[in-house]
Structure 1
Amino acid sequence: VAVPSLVVYMNKVDMVDDPELLDLVELEMRELLSSYQFPGDDLPIIRGSALAALEGREPEQGHDTIMALMAAVDDYIPQPERAKDRPFLMPIEDVFTISGRGTVVTGRVERGVIKVG
């Protein structure tokens, strides 16, 4: 599977007291990504703690880093192009039976658009 763009979230930084160790880990990640033909020096790497964000503590390591992650995704990951002028195609990925509602199918729209009515 080709992955054209990548944003990295370095999690659990709240468990490390030495900032130099975090710098070393980031450097090694960049080297590893470069060895797989990614632009390791240019990729955004966001440091934070997902648990701190979930628990609402230490916003500089939690909530703020999640917001920075989403901003990096918005800035760095291009919008996928979908052929809106072709017939609608949505492969079915799963089917659920929900009591009181009926059968619900889920999938991802590959091309085209649908409209109400």
Structure 2
Amino acid sequence: MIDSELMCMQHILGEHRELHALVGTIKRTRPEYEGSIRHKNNLIGLARDGFIELKSLKKRHDELAKHFENHNSPIKELPPLKYLPKKVREARVDREKAVKDLIDRPKSCRPEGGCRDKILG
């Protein structure tokens, strides 16, 4: 994962929201949920492409939350991962891909180019 100090606030906010959405998606992989297969397949794709690292989700959330003055949406604990394949449970974020994405998309930063400027120094 990218050091959050190298990210602009826009990307910190976006990743924070995505982490909360991931928790909801994980909860919906339980078989009793309608559409559980769709949610599981979504996580399989994200893991395959190097976008998620569930083992670090809570730690990453807490790291990002330190950037907010008023944060009151903690992730107390992750839902059970037992309904997910091992390759999803053990997936890791592709750091090189994530860094390249931030450098190559300067217009998505606030201020524009903020992440690129911090990463490239």
Task: Give TM-score scaled by structure 2 length.
Answer: 0.24
Higher relative contact order (CA 8 A, sep 6+): 2
Q: Which structure shows the bigger proportion of residues in strand conformation?
A: 1
Larger CA Rg, structure 1 vs 2 = 1
Task: Give TM-score scaled by structure 1 length.
Answer: 0.25
